[in-house]
Structure formats: C-alpha cells, structure tokens
Amino acid sequence: MEGVKEIVEKQREFADKGDSKNVSFRIQLLLKLKKVLKENEQELNEAIYKDVKKSAFETYLTELSVVYHEIDFAVKNLKKWAKPVRVKTGIANFPASSKIIHEPLGTTLIIGAWNYPYQLVLNPAVAALAAGNAAILKPSELPSTTSNVLEKIINQNFDSSYLHVMKGSVELTTELLKYSYGKICFTGSTQVGKIIATAAAQTLTPTLLELGGKSPCFVFPDTNLKLAAKRIAWGKFINSGQTCIAPDYLYVHDSVYNEFLEELKIQTQLVVGPTPKESESFIRIINNKNFNRLKNLIDPAKIFYGGDLDEKESYISPTILKDVNWGDVCMQEEIFGPILPVLKFSEIDNAINEVKRGPRPLALYLFTSDKRIQDKILNEVSFGGGAINDVVMHFTNNYLPFGGVGQSGMGNYHGKHGFLSFSHQKSILKKQLWFEPSIKYAPYTSWKLKFSKLIFG
Ligand code: NAD
C-alpha cells in the first residue's frame, strides 16, 4: 500500500504533467466516477446501513443522487465553465485585450465529516476533478464500513495519481496536513476546522472550510402552519438531525406557539412514523460519545414530545423541547441530533438580536409570506445560506453556492461555484505593439499630470 508521501508526490507529478488541462479528460473521469458508483450502489447501500441503519432510499436521496446530479451538472457545463473569460480593458492599457484563464490548482486534499460519508467527500471531489485537479479523499473514520467500501471502490477503479482514498483518523490527517496542496477542502466541526486552518497556514495552502453551527428557523403567524411543520419535521429529523444545515432550533411567534407545537407533533409522527425505533427509515446516532452528548442536551422538564433513549441501540427518538430559552443547555452548542428546541418570540427585533449574539449560522430559515419581514431578516442577519418557506433544500440547487460565513466556514462549492473554488483565476493582459504613449515615462511634466487627471479623474 502506498504511503502519504508517495501519493502526494505522484499526484504532484500528475498535476505537473498537465494531462487534466484537457477538458475531455476531466469529463471522461467524471463519467467514469458516476459509472463506478452506479455499479457498486448495492455495496454502498449495505455499508451505510450497517454503520448507521440508513435505508437504501435515504442513501440514494441524500448521498448518491446528490453526487450523480453534481456530476451530470458538471459534465453538461464544464466546457463552458472552463473557457477563458474575456473582460474589458481600461484606457490605461489601450490598445489591449484581457482575459481570465481557469487554471487547475494542482493537488487537493478533501477531508470529510461522518454524517453524509459519501457525498461529503465525493461532491467536493467532483468539483476538484472538474477543475482539473488531482484529489486525495480522506473520509471520516467513524462509519468504518462505509469508508472501507469507498476506499475499495475508488482505489480499485482509479489511478492513485489523480484520485485516491486514504482511510484513517487524526494520525493520518495530521500526516497529510504536513504537505502543501493547491487546496484543502475540509467538512467538519468548527473546532477541527481551526486545526486544519492552522496546519494549512504552515504550507500556505488555501482552505475551503465547510463547518457547522446553530442554524435558526423562524415561524411567523401568517404562514401555513401545517406545511411549515411538515417541512421542518422532515428537514430536522432526516438523518436523525445529524445534518449540518438542519434547523438547530425554532423561533415561533407567541401568537401561534402552542398551535404550532401541536402541528409539529402531528407532522413529526407522520414523517418518522409512529414507532421510529422499529422503522427502517430512522437512522442511529453515530457513536456513544455523541449519544451521551445529546442525552445531556435534553432537559426532561422541557420534553414536549419524544425523549426516548436506548443507549445499546444508539437510538434517540425525535424529541421536541418546549419553552426553551437561551440559558438552556441545548442552546449552548450545535445540537447535531434529533432534538428540536422551540423558543418563543413576540418582537422580531429581539429574536434577531439574540441570533446575532452568537456566531454567524451556516443556515437560516424563515416561514412567512410577509415580504417586509423576509427582507428584514435577510438584511440584518449574516449566515451562510438558507431558504424562505422551506429548510435544507437550498443545498440541492447547484446554481447556488453552498458554504458558511465566519465561524460556519469559508469559501463555497456546488456547480460552477465549486469549479471556481478549485481553480486559479489567472489574469492575462495582452498588449499590442503598434502604439506606446509616452505619458507613463519620465520626465513627469505638469502637462502629463493635468492630462492624467483629465483621463483618470
Ligand atoms: P469532525 O470535525 O470531528 O471530523 C471531521 C474530519 O476531521 C474527520 O475526517 C476526522 O477524521 C477529522 N479530524 C477529527 N479530529 C481531527 C484532528 N484533531 N486533526 C485532524 N483531523 C481531525 O466532524 P464530524 O463529527 O465528522 O462532523 C460533524 C460536524 O461537521 C458538525 O459540526 C457539522 O455541522 C459539520 N458539518 C458541516 C457540513 C457543511 O457542509 N458545512 C457538512 C457536514 C457536517
């Protein structure tokens, strides 16, 4: 088996050779990736079911179809994205033309989180490969069957000089981080994001950091409460709440607070079924550490619905907490599990101020048809991205850049944004040789100053 040094060197050689500057080569590579994943779907499904009891449908919906869609989108648009872009040239350079060339960054390191173990390494890989880079993928070690299968499938089918999976935990990542890359893409916690950024700074490797945080969701009285509850219940409890952009907590207007809670209970039961523990569609908490962390976030006095725990099965039922306030333990950290605190607000300004007291969220959602309120929240709160009248689904639109801001991340990807994130924008000015005004050359006379001011302001 090849070690870190060999793989990094091989990928550097590949990047230097420049074969991947050919757009057709990249398209073939992406198509092959899709084919290989399709051919091995059953094994990928079985692995994730073994790790976290994720059903084949949910694996398709939240993992594989996301990657297929990203590949199809890149294949369809790559020739257009990769073309040099002509831009205007100012008078200072007359006569000349200007263009931007999208150049591969070279080698890339992609480190994934465990919660969507396939798409969180494969989706950035699609962007990296589309932009003509080589990629080392380091999936999370926590879902171990999943990372084994990913390693097997990718490494058996692709040359390690341009696409390779390395399996391991902190020790391996620490070793990988000793080398420089064109870019490191990290998906994971804000805490580990700081470790990655610190290590990357030593080699001046740029980073794309996809991190976490507490994402709020506002519910206003004018909305369709039933549909809002249904969409929120789905977005929160899919993957058992272990989704970086799941609504972390709800802020519900006091005039509809009790009514909405009742609706949320009904819709949660419909979305996860009456007995989620027995359901084939309700996944488990990844490990004991997270199980116990989540258990401690549930204040039994505030349980409105759910609160069933089974440590042996790593199971926590969908749990709704009522009358929560900012002093509660569940409001002190990102929840990242099937626990949904519901806070009450009467004045939107106060609620906005509370949200703004914390780090800038990865996502924000609001359910209202009132355009003034929509504009107010979008104007006043900084967050990575979000949706009006829905949750989570903005992720699926690859025309939108996906990423955080501040503590929830830096940079973005998906679609063309991913291509640009993994490319260097090389600026080229092409001058003509038939004209050379004397103005920029000494002697710097007063008429040259006057003339320059006339032209440039
Ligand atoms: P994590 O930060 O613990 O681990 C992520 C990766 O970092 C793993 O591959 C792990 O092996 C590696 N790692 C862990 N400790 C390390 C260390 N000390 N040095 C070097 N590498 C280390 O995150 P997680 O528990 O896998 O995922 C949960 C977090 O990820 C949540 O905060 C969630 O919001 C966030 N997340 C963000 C997105 C996004 O797109 N923004 C997507 C999924 C998850």
Residue whose CA is closest, atom 26 of ligand 1?
A: 113
Please check the confidence at residue 271 and state whether its pLDDT lies above 80: yes
User: Per the domain annotation, does 336 fall within a domain?
Assistant: yes
- 274 in the same domain as 183: no
User: Per the domain annotation, does 316 fall within a domain?
Assistant: yes
Beta-strand ranges (E) seen in 247-376 are 249-253, 303-305, 309-310, 315-316, 319-321, 339-345, 363-367
Whole-structure pTM value:
0.96
Q: Distance (Å, rounded) from C-alpha 212 to C-alpha 154? A: 27
pLDDT digits (tens, 9 = 90+) for 361-398: 999 999 999 999 999 999 999 999 999 999 999 999 99
- 40 in the same domain as 172: yes
Residue whose CA is closest, atom 8 of ligand 1?
A: 140
- 68 in the same domain as 135: yes
Q: Distance (Å, rounded) from C-alpha 98 to C-alpha 74? A: 26
pLDDT digits (tens, 9 = 90+) for 9-58: 999 999 999 999 999 999 999 999 999 999 999 999 999 999 988 999 99
User: Per the domain annotation, does 439 fall within a domain?
Assistant: no
Instruction: Decide whether any atom of ligand 1 lies within 6 Å of the 197 Cβ.
Output: no
Beta bridge partner(s), residue 187: 210
- 252 in the same domain as 181: no
Domain that holds residue 101: 4-211+407-426
| Ligand 1 atom, smallest distance to 213 CA | 34
Counting residues of the chain whose pLDDT is more than 70, the rounded percentage is: 100
Q: To test ligand 1's pocket by mutation, which of 118, 186, 187, 398 has the most ligand atoms within 8 angstroms of CB? A: 187
- 411 in the same domain as 388: no
Instruction: Decide whether any atom of ligand 1 lies within 6 Å of the 151 Cβ.
Output: no
Q: Could you tell me the two tokens for 302?
A: 């505030």
- 313 in the same domain as 200: no
User: Do the beta carbons of residue 444 and residue 453 sit within 8 Å?
Assistant: no
Q: Distance (Å, rounded) from C-alpha 21 to C-alpha 448? A: 45
Residue whose CA is closest, atom 19 of ligand 1?
A: 170
Angle between helices 144-157 and 41-52 (to 10 degrees): 160
CATH number for the domain including 277? 3.40.309.10
User: Do the beta carbons of residue 23 and residue 82 sit within 8 Å?
Assistant: yes
User: Per the domain annotation, does 320 fall within a domain?
Assistant: yes
Sign of CA dihedral 444, 447, 449, 452: negative
pLDDT at 274: 87
- 238 in the same domain as 170: no
User: Per the domain annotation, does 432 fall within a domain?
Assistant: no
From ligand 1's centre to the CA of 237, what distance in Å?
Answer: 20
User: Do the beta carbons of residue 137 and residue 150 sit within 8 Å?
Assistant: yes
CATH number for the domain including 129? 3.40.605.10
- 291 in the same domain as 306: yes
pLDDT band at 1 (very low <50, low <70, confident <90, very high): low
User: Per the domain annotation, does 168 fall within a domain?
Assistant: yes
User: Per the domain annotation, does 450 fall within a domain?
Assistant: no
Catalytic positions: 210, 244
**Strand arrangement of the beta sheet that strand 303-305 belongs to:** 303-305, 319-321, 339-345, 249-253, 216-219, 363-367, 385-388
User: Do the beta carbons of residue 113 and residue 87 sit within 8 Å?
Assistant: no
User: Per the domain annotation, does 436 fall within a domain?
Assistant: no
Q: Distance (Å, rounded) from C-alpha 361 to C-alpha 377? A: 13
Number of domains in the chain: 2
From ligand 1's centre to the CA of 129, what distance in Å?
Answer: 22
DSSP string, 392-451: SGGGG-TTS-B---GGGEE--BSHHHHHHHTEEEEEEEEE-SS---STTSSS--HHHHHH
- 20 in the same domain as 109: yes
Residue whose CA is closest, atom 22 of ligand 1?
A: 170
- 317 in the same domain as 266: yes
Instruction: Decide whether any atom of ligand 1 lies within 6 Å of the 173 Cβ.
Output: yes
| Ligand 1 atom, smallest distance to 112 CA | 9
